[in-house]
Amino acid sequence: MGLVGGTQLFAQELLVAAASDLAPSIPELTREVLQNQKLTLRVSVGSSGQLARQIEQGAPFDLFLSADETFVKQLVQAGRGDAATVQIYAIGRLALWSKSGAIKQLADLAKPEVKRVAMASPLHAPYGRLAKEALEKAGLWAAVEPKLILAETVRQTMQFAATGNVDAALTSWTLAHDKGGILLPESLRQAGVVIKGSKNPAGAAALLAFLKTSRGQGILGRHGLLPWEVRPEPLLQKLKNHNSDGKGGGTDEETKKTKGLRPAKQRNKNQ
């Protein structure tokens, strides 16, 4: 996790816990909100599950922007999220990315020449869970599972792929759409909630509402998210032409075990 946005001015401060796939949009969102909403954002980025756990344990965030609905519902059930404020703010999509550009489709991950594949841990990262579901649906899980390097976040999957530690990454479209990523059909309903006990609930609610405005949706859209009320499937054919050769760099970012999968640090050490 890391602090991504924040400008120290006179505006009222808002503490936001945001899923890693939102990282590319945060600088623009921070500037827009500071200018028009008079709110200074301090944004901590990490996997949705890790952030939700921190909030359950009392972390003083005002707003939680999750990569899916599951962890938002979990916070509401735990009494830490305000149920009246729960809102879907965007549709997130799964992507495949390789530095070489040689990996063009999900089935390529099963090829013998592909030795290692990064994806976020399904235990606490929604895109990791989505990646696993995609592999299972395609009948590729048995072939690809032994190759997997589990990352803490989707940002870390891109770091592994960009540095050559893995041959490919299953990640979010927000992190791969401008780097020659391959768009996959699977998607997530990304949701937010105001945290109970927030020192600035009005500001948190205002930011969540802003994300649904045309300006808010425009910012999210420029960074690879779909409007929350739009189904992604009809756009796949239109977006095919935007999937380039996969060449380009990546980005930055303790992993729990899942059954039969080794965490990235341990597995890299063994190799």
Q: What average pLDDT does the structure give for the chain?
A: 85
105: nearest Cα among 95, 117, 115, 113? 95
* Low-confidence winner among 42-56, 139-153, 190-204, 254-268 (lowest mean pLDDT): 254-268
* Rounded Cα distance, 257 and 90, in Å: 29
51: nearest Cα among 35, 62, 39, 38? 62
How many Å is the Cα radius of gyration of the chain? 18
Model-wide pTM > 0.85: no
147, two tokens:
């190759």
* Low-confidence winner among 50-54, 169-173, 174-178, 256-260 (lowest mean pLDDT): 256-260
Domains and CATH numbers, the chain: 2-91+189-236 (3.40.190.10), 93-186+237-270 (3.40.190.10)
* Rounded Cα distance, 241 and 237, in Å: 8
Q: How many CB atoms lie within 10 A of CB 180?
A: 17
Question: Where on the phi/psi map is residue 39: left (φ > 0), alpha (ψ -120 to 50), or beta?
Answer: beta
For β-strands 182-194 and 87-97, DSSP reports them as: antiparallel
Q: In this model, does residue 37 exceed pLDDT 90?
A: no
User: How do residues 61-106 score in pLDDT, each as one tens digit?
Assistant: 999 999 999 999 999 999 999 999 999 999 999 999 999 999 999 9
Task: State the average pLDDT over residues 32-59.
Answer: 93
Q: How many CB atoms lie within 10 A of CB 270?
A: 7
How far is C-alpha 266 from the geometric centre of its chain's CA atoms?
A: 23
Q: How many CB atoms lie within 10 A of CB 60?
A: 11
Per-residue pLDDT, 8 = 39
For tokens 């990640």, name the residue.
Answer: 171
Per-residue pLDDT, 135 = 98
